[in-house]
Amino acid sequence: MAAFDVVLGCVMALLIILFSISSTVRYYVKFTLFVVLSLIFATAPLPLMLFKPFDPKNALIPAALLRMTARMLGIRWTVRGTENVDDSRGAVVLLNHQSSLDLYVLAVLWPLMARCTVVSKRSLQFLVPFGTAAWLWGTVFIDRGSASSARSVLNQQTKVVQEERRKLLLFPEGTRHSGDKLLPFRKGAFHVAMNARAPIQPVVVSKYHHLDSKRPWFGSGEIIITILPLIETEGVKKEEISTLIDVVQNKMQDEFTRTSAETYAQKG
């Protein structure tokens, strides 16, 4: 037993040294902590969710715990534009997609927007127990490998947005990336908004300067989350959807460029 304690102490000391001097070790250690703590904190309140399944409020306790882990990992944030949130009606909320760390952005938004429902890939549903918890707080899962299936699921959300005044959160780029330019937006979210006669709420998250998977690097940093004014869709014709997409994407790109430059200056 004493020998085991000595070996364990040596291993821990080595890890601490490597964490201090190696950015690669820090990257993998912090990402491991992100995954493990997210699984624990997101699912710890799972028994409470069973009392009212599929209620978006089930995400509030996990969100609070996730925000705490974000601070532990050195991630700080500023939210702008909360005055643009209108909880008296539903909306389709569009966010730019950079990393799995976007989970922390959702944790910030959940208490700021009532009745939030996130759209996620179906494979996440089978990540037990996290997928179970996400299912119980109302996450909508779609099969990205089947365009017709994904379209059918999204079309079903039209009534939910319209009648239950839900905020349907989607990543219109469809995949995560770390570039300076947003990827082309997909049409699905815009069809939902137009069919529900609901506004679009663009939300822009500044670039993750503290994260770089190529180096690899996972440091501490500041992000700016900007909730832009609502963009109405009622009266927009289907043949005008491309113009609507361009308007939304240009607004989000401009804000992304501006706030990313701001957080980069703070980084220096």
Q: How far is CA 258 from CA 64, 87, 95, 97, in A?
A: 28, 27, 16, 17
Predicted pLDDT of residue 17: 56
Give the per-residue pLDDT at 2.
64
- C-alpha–C-alpha distance, residues 104 and 100, integer Å: 9
Q: Could you tell me the pLDDT band of residue 16, with boundaries at 50, 70 and 90?
A: low
- At 233 the pLDDT is 93
The two structure tokens encoding residue 227? 């909730």
Comparing 94-98, 122-126, 192-196, 257-261, which segment has the lowest mean pLDDT?
122-126
Q: What is the pLDDT of residue 64?
A: 95
- Per the structure, the complete domain to which residue 11 belongs is given by 1-266
The DSSP secondary structure of 162-203, one letter per residue, reads HHS--EEEE-TTSS---SSSPPPPPSHHHHHHHHTT--EEEE
Whether the pLDDT of residue 23 is over 90: the answer is no
Domain count, the chain: 1
Structure tokens at 119: 């759209």
- If pLDDT is split at 50, 70 and 90, which confidence band does 181 have? very high
Q: Does residue 113 register a pLDDT over 70? A: yes
pTM: 0.89
- Please tell me the distance from the alpha carbon of residue 69 to that of residue 55, in angstroms, as a whole number: 23
Q: What is the mean pLDDT of residues 128-146?
A: 84
Output DSSP code: residue 220: -
Coil, helix or strand at residue 142: strand
Spatial neighbors of 157 by CB under 8 A, at least 6 apart, are 117, 119, 140, 166, 168, 192, 196
Over range 87-102, report the average pLDDT.
Answer: 95
Q: Is the pLDDT of residue 19 over 60?
A: no
Could you tell me which residue, 191 or 143, shows the higher pLDDT? 191
The DSSP code sequence of 4-49 is HHHHHHHHHHHHHHHHHH-HHHHHHHHHHHHHHHHHHHHHTTHHHH
Tens-place pLDDT, residues 33-77? 999 999 999 899 999 999 999 899 999 999 999 999 999 999 999
User: What's the CATH code of the domain at 198?
Assistant: 3.40.1130.10
Residue 88 in tokens: 């008296």
